[in-house]
């Protein structure tokens, strides 16, 4: 999420009542969770497993739960609960940004929003797009030109992102959105979660069948085809012209290369190269999987 102005390190530390360490002159221009950080961003870390990758990331200001050596060119804010501090900051900055905007949705005159559809605040809908009955478009989502969203689809619900504690699960409050690019068609009963701090993106010309789920901060390329009941976890990058057939499941934080084809009911557990066809769980080269199945079948017949 981009901030509406630059914030000094002192301002950020004061907002969360934390202790600032490192480059005092650093300013923050955005805030993002670690998978999305850019230079100038605020990020957080509260688990030793992620200290090193977070401290070595491009984030400029890091909220952390213990004192440690500050990398050159960065600043730290020591806080006993970085997760809570991060949630506080995203909500604070979101309110400031919204104060600069009109909450009324902007719907092009050629677009059609059918009776029974719900359009949230700050939404934009482009030319000739059609939103069918029962569809729900949450706040801040952007719908391009010539987009069709079928009945009972939900665009922009919260990210499935929780911190596990001893007696409860604390929610990372979502402040991102969903961007649906031009020429996309989304079937009935689909769910597309908004980004936790950035955008979930469905690329130009892509087509999603009924009952497809797309997790937070996932970026789907152009001209992709997803058949019914495909489920994509959060923070996945899917390149252009990828085909996923029915009930394919895709784990978080991986990449599927351009032109890949994944056969039905496959489980994608790690990144896949483009231009190849995959099958199985975990998904591997489809020809190898078919030979494996044939070999096992032959062995069982001989028993």
E-assigned strands of 9-60?
Answer: 19-22, 27-31, 41-45
Instruction: Tell me which DSSP letter residue 82 carries.
Output: H
Of 67, 27, 31, nearest to 51 (Cα)? 67
Active site residue 216: yes
Identify whether the C-beta of residue 217 lies closer than 8 Å to the C-beta of residue 196: yes
∠ CA 162-165-168, nearest 5°, is 75
Whether a cis peptide bond, with omega within 30° of 0, leads into 122 is: no
Q: What are phi and psi of 93, to 5 degrees?
A: -70, -35
Which residues are CB-neighbours of 133 under 8 A, at least 6 positions away? Answer: 114, 115, 116, 117, 151
The residue annotated as part of the active site, out of 132, 150, 213, 216, is 216
Residues annotated catalytic, as ranges? 216
């Amino acid at each position: 999420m981009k901030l509406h102005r630059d914030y000094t390190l002192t301002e950020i530390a004061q907002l969360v009542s934390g202790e600032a360490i490192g480059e005092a002159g650093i300013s923050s221009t955005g805030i993002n969770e670690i998978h999305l950080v850019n230079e100038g961003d605020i990020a957080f870390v509260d688990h030793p497993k992620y200290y090193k990758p977070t401290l070595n990331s491009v984030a400029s200001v890091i909220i952390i739960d213990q004192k440690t050596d500050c990398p050159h060119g960065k600043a730290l804010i020591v806080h006993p609960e970085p997760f809570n501090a991060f949630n506080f900051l995203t909500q604070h900055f979101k309110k400031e940004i919204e104060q600069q905007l009109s909450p009324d949705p902007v719907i092009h005159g050629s677009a059609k929003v059918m009776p029974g559809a719900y359009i949230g605040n700050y939404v934009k809908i482009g030319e000739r797009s059609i939103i069918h009955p029962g569809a729900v478009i949450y706040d801040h989502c952007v719908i391009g030109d010539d987009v069709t969203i079928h009945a009972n689809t939900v665009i922009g619900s919260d990210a499935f992102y929780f911190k596990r504690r001893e007696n409860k699960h604390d929610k990372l409050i979502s402040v991102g959105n969903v961007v649906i690019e031009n020429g996309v068609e989304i079937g009935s009963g689909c769910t597309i979660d908004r980004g936790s701090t950035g955008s979930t993106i469905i690329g130009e010309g892509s087509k999603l069948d009924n009952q497809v789920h797309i997790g937070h901060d996932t970026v789907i390329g152009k001209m992709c085809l997803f058949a019914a009941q495909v489920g994509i976890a959060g923070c996945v990058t899917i390149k252009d012209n990828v085909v996923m057939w029915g009930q394919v499941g895709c784990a978080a934080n991986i990449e599927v290369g351009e032109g890949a084809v994944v056969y039905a009911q496959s489980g994608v557990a790690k990144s896949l190269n483009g231009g190849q066809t995959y099958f199985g769980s975990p998904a591997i080269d489809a020809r190898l999987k078919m030979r494996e199945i044939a070999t096992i079948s032959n062995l069982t017949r001989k028993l």
